[in-house]
Structure 1
Amino acid sequence: MLFNSLQYLIFLPLVFAIYWGMNHRSLKLQNLLLLAASYYFYACWDWRFLFLLVFSTGLDYYTGLKMKDAPSVRMKKFWFWLSIGINVGFLGIFKYYNFFAESFADLLSNFGFQANFWTLQVILPVGISFYTFHGLSYVIDIYKNRIEPERNIVDYSLFVSYFPLLVAGPIERATHLLPQIKKKRIFNSDKAIDGLHQIIWGLFKKIVIADSCATYANQIFDNYENANSLTLLLGALYFTFQIYGDFSGYSDIALGTSKLFGIDLLRNFNYPYFSRDIAEFWRRWHISLSSWFKDYLYIPLGGSQGGTLMKVRNTFIIFLVSGFWHGANWTFIVWGLLNAVYFMPLLLSNTNRYHIDIVAKGKKWPTVKEFFSMSLTFCLAMFAWIFFRAETVAMAIQYIKNIFLFNFKGGVAYLSIDRYSIELVGLLGIFIVFEWVSREKEHPFFGRFLYIRLVLVLLGLLLFGAFTNAADFIYFQF
């Protein structure tokens, strides 16, 4: 079930009405309703993988209790590593087995050996990377004595499978979400309206910005061999806005939906394209994943406490794992490593924590230095996104080579396909203005001009929204 589908448009108000209709009865019933709605939401993708979600949930729930009641440290470690092994094992089998099998076969072929490994002919269970990380953080936190295990199976199951965040995050922590699940919620009209505003903004990002940019980005990347330099640059630019509009749009819809039920989710994006360096970019992009890796991988590895070599090693590990988390393809690994290279000058000069506050906070315009810093960071991110979007590393390299041929003959191709062209450039400009004005808020709908902005966005949805054949969100594949 897609957030941008008619099915969801029916599903959400129905669950909302029943949920608040039973508010006077029981918190347990509300949580049970949300759990049932979440399982139905997930089953709409492929009901067979619902069993995998339930098994993973039951495993971590039971493991948490067994670790708490373990008679010895040895038994506590046994249950901990059993849960970690099974969770990572499922993720590895479904997401990475074919990659390793095919990569190993290619390696053997380079030495003259022919190997045909058996590969899995199954689709990747949607959301497996996200709900697996929910469970992993829960088990690790119990093992480290940071939290107590949850003994209410319904509440824990809802924490793992809460439908707004189930298939593409944000990646929640038990310390943040479980207390809200266990606490009685009272309907707050202001919060609900704010949630609706955030949903509308998320839909605009997805249906108008991301899906429109995808129309051109897909055509250009699919025909990159015949495109000139300017066209290829536009293709990279369109994908840069596509992936941001797509993923941050999903996050906005998820956070807005959850506000309707009186539950706050972790913020996942904070205007990353207004970052002044790549370190700031990663503090503002996919925040829940970045913080997850920092807390559960980077810090356990030693973080920034050791010498320079340890810092460099840990940084490369984090970005390598982050790239691999996104998919079983060498393109994602190169994308991760490229971002690590970007990060190195900041790390070595100890300037990676310089830009903590939002750019030009309390001001209308950035300084000249801030403008050029944001432009450079944006270009670096756009360059890296070419590897993220390309099907192979070789394709990405050739795409980049063709850009630097500086061939501008014939103008821009692929600007009159299927849909509008000049209008999209104008929409991107308006979108940037909206983002800039609201960069100190979660979304643009606030203050004196709230209704003007809301009307403009709704008009944009009606005039330019790609409502037919609703497109999947990019991060569903991860």
Structure 2
Amino acid sequence: MGLLQIGASILTALLIGALTSAARRAAAVRTRFTQTARTYLLLVFSILAVYWFQPLVPLRSFDFWLPSLTLALVVLTWFITSSGGDRSSSWRAPQNLIALLLIAGLPALIDLSRYFLPEPLFTAAPPPRFILFLFFVIVLAIAIPLISWLSGRFRWVLSAAIVFLIIVLIILKTPALSLQTSVFLRTLMSRSSENASFTDLRWLGFSYIAFRLIHVLRDKQANRLPELSLAEFGTYVVFFPSLAAGPIDRAERFAQDLRKEFALTQDETLLAGQRIAIGLFKKFVIADTLALIALNDLLATQVRTAGWMWVIVYAYTFQIYFDFSGYTDIALGIARLAGINLPENFAAPYLKPNLAQFWNSWHMTLTQWVRNYFFNPFNRWMRGAKSIPAWGMLLIGQVATMALIGLWHGITLNFVLWGIWHGLGLFVQNRWSDFVRTRYPDLQQNRRLQTVLQIGSILVTFHFVALGWVFFALSEPVLSWQVFLKLFNLL
């Protein structure tokens, strides 16, 4: 998000919070009504944000079609996960009919605006002809009820939906597949494929959207998904403060915030404003300044001395933290203005004494998601293979999990190496901790030595993480290897 979008999001959240508080103070208005009205308002502005935040895509009208596909996936997932619930989850319930009208009607108005506005208001380029959007809606109106009917009779439909989301993620995250998809789409639209690029399919926030949808689908399979109205579900998936950069909330926790009583008090406004201000300072002052000297492909080839190479590696280490945590602070502050307490994503990660604690405080919602839906099930599956020793299961589980986190950022060798780096680091740290605990049981009784070891552990962990960012920041492993050699005066 840019400053304009952040500013608009702040004003929107303030407006929703103020309206909710005013309605709650009115004696004639019931609490249930204000909660429902707030949910609809959040849904409306989140739908508009899906289109407005979507960056320009070189493929014709895809800055309209990609957000529309996001909303289609939201509706489809809600339909196939709400079957068999109470009346509130039925699409015929009044609140769900209203949500359906909003989800279909707002994009229709955005599309129709091409006929009466000189410039597009919510899309980066003019939207497509309305007849195309109408055809899109008709296809969905036939396909979604059919798939929903199938999901009520065949459990494999939920698994197929998860596989579909994973395939889309793989295509978007793999440069070669993204390029071929762009070539195919350009050919389909009778356009030259010479300018096709793997960056053509920049689908705003899809990494986060896909993980939210997979979370809901997996919880439905495990029979632990609570009943959600379409408005609640849609707002959860495309909530505008967390749309572009997370965090990845849980549906049941998010719904609790929507349903609870909320009044935007002066103290709440002040706390939210402080969080937003801190985030803005982190992102646009510290992170953007550090970006001028942070490690990148160009500087990696230009810097010759070990000292300056350490400087740019340190700069990148802090730049990525202040950039990401800054956006998170902004998102949490904006959400708080609207009465939603999004989960924390960072907790002083660079001050942790070991790698396990680092990953419990860095991008925490992603780590928790991967732990719940990959690491724990994968470990349970490996326990069935009695031929694998305990240390082998630990090694395989940690390396596979961290490699998956790397692949979530992009299916390229540099991200895989970054994930393996952390997976091996977690394994070594676990083995070392067990060795020290059994070999030196009285170590913790020496407070002075414990303090020295704590400081040393923080420094070692920090530098291990900083060196790992070399893989993350650079596009080619060969370049990363050259940086490592320069860091230690070997090149």
Aligned length: 380
Alignment of 1:246-257 (within 5 A): 246-257=323-334
Alignment of 1:377-392 (within 5 A): 377-392=461-476
Deviation at 1:332, TM superposition (A): 0.7
Match of 1:460 in 2: none
1:148 aligns with 2:226: yes
Relative distance call for 1:255 and 1:226 in structure 2 (3 A) is closer
Match of 2:170 in 1: 92
Indicate conservation of the 8 Å contact 2:280/2:326, yes or no: yes
State the secondary structure of the residue aligned to 2:53.
helix
Match of 2:120 in 1: none
Alignment of 1:125-140 (within 5 A): 125-140=203-218
The whole-number CA distance in structure 2 between the counterparts of 1:346 and 1:269 is: 21
Root-mean-square deviation (CA), in Å? 3.0
More displaced, 333-342 or 204-213?
204-213
Which one of 479, 483, 486 corresponds to residue 395 of structure 1? 479
* TM-score of the two chains, using structure 2 as the length reference: 0.71
Name the structure where helix makes up a greater proportion of residues: 2
The whole-number CA distance in structure 2 between the counterparts of 1:404 and 1:128 is: 39
Relative distance call for 1:97 and 1:399 in structure 2 (3 A) is closer
Q: Which runs of 5+ in 1 are unaligned?
A: 103-117, 355-362, 408-478
Indicate conservation of the 8 Å contact 1:297/1:318, yes or no: yes
Question: What do the CA deviations read for 1:368-418 (whole angstroms, capped 9, x no partner)?
Answer: 2211111111110000001100111111111111222268xxxxxxxxxxx
Deviation at 1:147, TM superposition (A): 2.2
Which one of 225, 241, 256 corresponds to residue 179 of structure 1? 256
Question: What do the CA deviations read for 1:182-232 (whole angstroms, capped 9, x no partner)?
Answer: 333222332221111111111111122211110111578535344211111
1:164 aligns with 2:241: yes
More displaced, 382-391 or 27-36?
27-36
State the secondary structure of the residue aligned to 1:129.
helix
Question: What do the CA deviations read for 1:336-370 (whole angstroms, capped 9, x no partner)?
Answer: 0001111112333564999xxxxxxxx9xx92221
Match of 1:13 in 2: 11
Relative distance call for 1:317 and 1:101 in structure 2 (3 A) is farther
State the secondary structure of the residue aligned to 1:302.
helix
Relative distance call for 1:376 and 1:218 in structure 2 (3 A) is closer
Relative distance call for 1:128 and 1:352 in structure 2 (3 A) is farther
The whole-number CA distance in structure 1 between the counterparts of 2:298 and 2:175 is: 27
Indicate conservation of the 8 Å contact 2:211/2:248, yes or no: yes
The whole-number CA distance in structure 1 between the counterparts of 2:310 and 2:265 is: 46
Paired amino acid for 2:168? F
Relative distance call for 1:71 and 1:217 in structure 2 (3 A) is closer
Match of 1:308 in 2: 391
Match of 2:45 in 1: 37
1:267 aligns with 2:344: yes
Match of 1:198 in 2: 275
Indicate conservation of the 8 Å contact 1:191/1:262, yes or no: no
Which one of 49, 72, 78 corresponds to residue 55 of structure 1? 72
The whole-number CA distance in structure 1 between the counterparts of 2:73 and 2:152 is: 23
Deviation at 1:272, TM superposition (A): 0.2
Indicate conservation of the 8 Å contact 2:84/2:152, yes or no: no
Match of 1:358 in 2: none
Deviation at 1:131, TM superposition (A): 1.0
Indicate conservation of the 8 Å contact 2:305/2:486, yes or no: yes
Indicate conservation of the 8 Å contact 1:199/1:252, yes or no: yes
The whole-number CA distance in structure 2 between the counterparts of 1:352 and 1:389 is: 33
Match of 1:341 in 2: 424
State the secondary structure of the residue aligned to 1:167.
coil
State the secondary structure of the residue aligned to 1:276.
coil
Paired amino acid for 2:206? I
Paired amino acid for 2:466? M
More displaced, 340-349 or 221-230?
221-230
Relative distance call for 1:322 and 1:128 in structure 2 (3 A) is same
By relative contact order (CA 8 Å, sep 6+), the higher-ranking structure is: 1
The whole-number CA distance in structure 2 between the counterparts of 1:241 and 1:99 is: 32
Deviation at 1:331, TM superposition (A): 0.7
Identity of aligned residues (%): 25
Indicate conservation of the 8 Å contact 1:67/1:80, yes or no: no
1:327 aligns with 2:410: yes
More displaced, 167-176 or 35-44?
35-44
Deviation at 1:328, TM superposition (A): 2.4
Deviation at 1:162, TM superposition (A): 0.7
Paired amino acid for 2:82? L
Match of 2:357 in 1: 280
State the secondary structure of the residue aligned to 2:203.
coil
